[in-house]
A = this chain, B = another copy of it.
């Protein structure tokens, strides 16, 4: 056990208690100050970010990752995001349940912070701000282990976060950055189960597995989305094309983008050529033999691939049952959709598909904390314990039972 990691965890734990006890106003002031700080320090942040990008390019990091790393033109949205979070209702202190028992005890379940959130993520420095803003308003401390390629950017952002905590009379040590490339140190972090209450990994499947494997702290894993859309024979075909186009192409590199399109056999012959026409920049992996120039024959492993790019699998299925079977086998439980005019099929799909978000006649791209009205998201959970789907403020809380009596004893 690296003593530096132990010390970091205990320091954040200790200082998080002051954030837990802070008033709503005090926490909002942190976020408002942070938004201002980012505006005032825009040049310095962008300079640090450019340096990160330069170093990343030198290392030959691929373009998609460079794009995620870059804050160019993105700071105004991030500032706006923080300001939006600052307007959300403070979840802490909310009475979740309350009742008087027959024996006269008053029992109250009240919402409390989780304590300390450990976030382990790759590339995107916006995660630093999203997670920290949500963590602070929900009364938590945070340990941030961002991607090493974003070190300078994250260091700058965390300094501003700490300045903002101090400006609201809260300890800056409640949010700390762990700068390390050493996997043993990350393993040590994952063992601090008496100091850290929840680990949120954001990134690749390999990162998620690493955290699940080595953590003794509860891990919320997610963010890997092999998303399906089933076009039923009764669907409105013209409008379906627009939903497919949106789900696949509006932002192909994210987890809620479409990966596999399932088409009912009864409409396949007429509908699929229209899909090829509408999705001009997309290449296809298809389940049958007659090929279009932009198609390859799908291999079995393609159905278990999250494309994160302009590639789309298409499979012809003979009915809803076959679609459900395919989804049960290949979905990662993130976001899956049906397009249909048949209410019975829609409800069967909703009840049968075991995913964090199940859609009827809408694009999978809506699975997002902002879109769902949660203000932002700390992650999208695809597991079932603790939280499922976009994680907002409430998903960063726990509860405690308060029991008030009159010297009650148990018979």
Q: Is A146 an interface residue (CB 8 A)?
A: no
Q: Are A386 and B218 in contact (CB under 8 A)?
A: yes
A102-125 interface bits toward B, Cβ cutoff 8 Å, 1 = contact, 0 = none:
000101010010110000000000
- Closest beta carbon of chain B to A25's beta carbon, Å: 17
Q: Which residue of B lies closest to A107 (CB)?
A: B372
Q: When the two chains form the complex, which single residue of B198, B243, B346 contacts A407, counting CB atoms closer than 8 Å?
A: B243
Stretch among A167-175, A180-188, A295-303, A398-406 lining the B interface: A398-406
Could you tell me if B362 and A403 are in contact, using CB atoms closer than 8 angstroms? yes
Tell me whether A409 and B361 are in contact (CB under 8 A).
no
Q: A365, B409: Cβ atoms under 8 Å? A: yes
- One of A51-59, A60-68, A234-242, A311-319 at the interface: A234-242
Chain A 235-281 interface residues, beta-carbon cutoff 8 Å to B: 236, 239-240, 242-243, 245-247, 250
Bound state CA distance, A362 and B404, in angstroms? 7
Is A219 located at the chain interface by the 8 A CB criterion? yes
Please give me the residue from chain B that is nearest to A371 by CB atom: B410
Encode contact with B along A381-405: 1 for CB under 8 Å, 0 otherwise: 0011110110000000011111111
Asked whether A218 lies within 8 Å of B219 as measured between CB atoms, the reply is yes
Contact across chains for B212 and A358 when beta carbons are under 8 A apart = no
Chain B minimum-CB-distance residue to A407:
B239
A151 CB–B CB distance under 8 Å = no
Q: Is the CB of B406 within 8 A of A361?
A: yes
| A193 located at the interface, meaning its Cβ lies under 8 Å from any Cβ of chain B in the complex | yes
Interface-facing stretch out of A36-44, A282-290, A348-356: A348-356
List B contacts of A250 (CB < 8 A): 409-410
A351 contact set on B, CB distance < 8 A: 21
A residues 324-381 touching B (CB-CB < 8 Å): 339, 346, 350-351, 354-363, 365-367, 371-373
Whether B240 contacts A408 by the Cβ 8 Å rule is: no
Question: Please, which residue of chain B has its CB at the minimum distance from the CB of A355?
Answer: B400
* Residues of the B chain whose Cβ atoms lie less than 8 Å from the Cβ of A15: none
Q: Is A4 an interface residue (CB 8 A)?
A: no
A408 touches B362 (CB 8 A): yes
A216 at interface, CB cutoff 8 A: yes
Per the bound structure, the CA–CA distance linking A236 and B250 in Å amounts to 68
Contact check, A405 vs B99: say whether CB atoms are below 8 A apart: no
Give residues 196-210 of A contacting B (CB, 8 Å): 197-198, 209
Residues of B within 8 A of A383 (CB): 197, 218
Q: How far is the CA of A245 from the CA of B409 in the complex (A)?
A: 9
CA distance A112 to B366 in the complex (A): 21
**CB-nearest residue of chain B to A93:** B351
In the bound complex, CA of A359 to CA of B402 (Å): 6
In the assembled complex, the Cα of A307 lies from the Cα of B313 at a distance in Å of 60
Which residues from chain B contact A80 at a C-beta distance below 8 Å?
none
- Closest chain-B Cβ to A88's Cβ sits at a distance in Å of 15
Question: What residue in chain B is nearest A328 (Cβ atoms)?
Answer: B17
Bound CA span A35–B285, Å: 54
- A384 touching B115 by the CB < 8 A rule? yes
Checking B198, B239, B403 against A385 with a beta-carbon cut-off of 8 angstroms, the contacting residue is: B198
The 9 closest A-B pairs by CB, nearest first: A362-B405, A246-B409, A384-B398, A218-B385, A239-B407, A365-B410, A362-B408, A212-B216, A386-B386
A-B contact pairs, 26 of them (CB 8 A): A21-B351, A101-B371, A105-B362, A112-B384, A198-B384, A209-B216, A236-B407, A242-B407, A242-B409, A245-B409, A246-B410, A356-B400, A357-B401, A357-B403, A358-B400, A358-B403, A359-B402, A359-B403, A359-B405, A361-B405, A362-B403, A362-B409, A366-B410, A371-B410, A372-B401, A385-B385
- Beyond the given A360-B402, A362-B404, A365-B409, please list 4 additional residue pairs across the A-B interface where CB-CB is below 8 A: A115-B384, A243-B407, A388-B400, A389-B401
